[in-house]
Amino acid sequence: MDATFSADAYLDRIGLAAPPRVTADGLESVHRAQAYTVPFENFDILLGRGISLDPAEVFAKLVTRRRGGYCFELNGLLETALTAFGFTARPLLARVHLSGTPTSRTHLLLLVTLDGREWLADVGFGGPGLRAPIPLELNTALEQDGQTFRLVERPPFGIMLQTAAGADWQDLYSFDFGHVVPADIAAGNHFTATHPSSFFTFTRVAALPKPDGRLSLADAALKIAAGDAEQKLVIPDDERYLAALEQHFGIALDAPYSALPPLPRAR
């Protein structure tokens, strides 16, 4: 087992009483538990701290200090945990298509091989992403917590993950199975955490799926979705913002509110 990884501390962080069995059910239990407890967030970027991908530092941030992170951290932690528990997993890089224009390969997800069957695992999308792993099978609609996903071929991008949006399908991200090395991940992380055009360098973001809905934050706009209902709140632009982060997402920033970049002015 990786010396930087404590199974007991990780399981306590995600609320599991025991290590998972190396089965499809065990894979799903870990995936759901981490997705529902460790939030997606980018506040260290906005605080000028950067994003380290060193496994020990990721573990210290997400588990010991009980913070969140984005795909490179969240799925990096999941890969470390799955490997420690005996699963076989490797990283893949994807292009995000939410805006209609594909990004560079700046989203990290995992391919898990289990008893000769391959699964996609992803606890780090932040948007309307997976709650549980899905088998690598094309043109098969799968429902998770009221949300439906499918994988389709999409040349020249490879395979596209889509989610149902009414009568249509929304493209989420595309990927292929090219071998990914640490330098690929470091390059994607550097761009995402530092480039002026990266959404994460100028927008406050947090998200946390729940079995019956989802919490999401963009700057001061908080959405609380539960079942068919959605509540929209505006978080005050003062120290109460930090209290709201902790209340809704469990994010306790060790920095004063004044350390964050100012919120954009409403137009």
Number of domains the chain is built from? 1
Going from the C-alpha of 87 to that of each of 130, 137, 161, the distances in angstroms are 19, 20, 23
Q: Of 31, 97, 122, 248, which is the active-site residue?
A: 122
Give residue 123's pLDDT: 98
Whether 122 sits among the annotated catalytic residues: the reply is yes
Residue 42 included in any domain: yes
In a domain, 93, yes or no: yes
Whether residue 165 lies inside any domain: the answer is yes
Q: Would you say residue 219 lies in a domain?
A: no
* pLDDT attached to residue 267: 43
Average pLDDT, consecutive stretches of 10 residues, N- to C-terminus, the chain (267 residues): 85 97 98 98 97 97 98 98 98 96 97 97 95 98 95 97 95 97 98 97 97 96 94 97 98 97 78
Task: Provide the pLDDT for residue 75.
Answer: 98
DSSP state of 69: B
- 71 catalytic? Reply is yes
Query: For residue 260, is it within any domain?
Result: no
In a domain, 98, yes or no: yes
- Is residue 212 domain-resident? no
Catalytic residue among 31, 97, 107, 248: 107
Give the CATH number, domain containing residue 137: 3.30.2140.20
- 31 is an active site residue: no
Distances (CA, A) of 109 to 38, 71, 79, 210, 238: 16, 7, 9, 20, 35
What is the domain extent for residue 188?
7-199
In a domain, 267, yes or no: no
Q: What is the pTM of this model?
A: 0.97
Q: What is the model's pLDDT at position 107?
A: 98
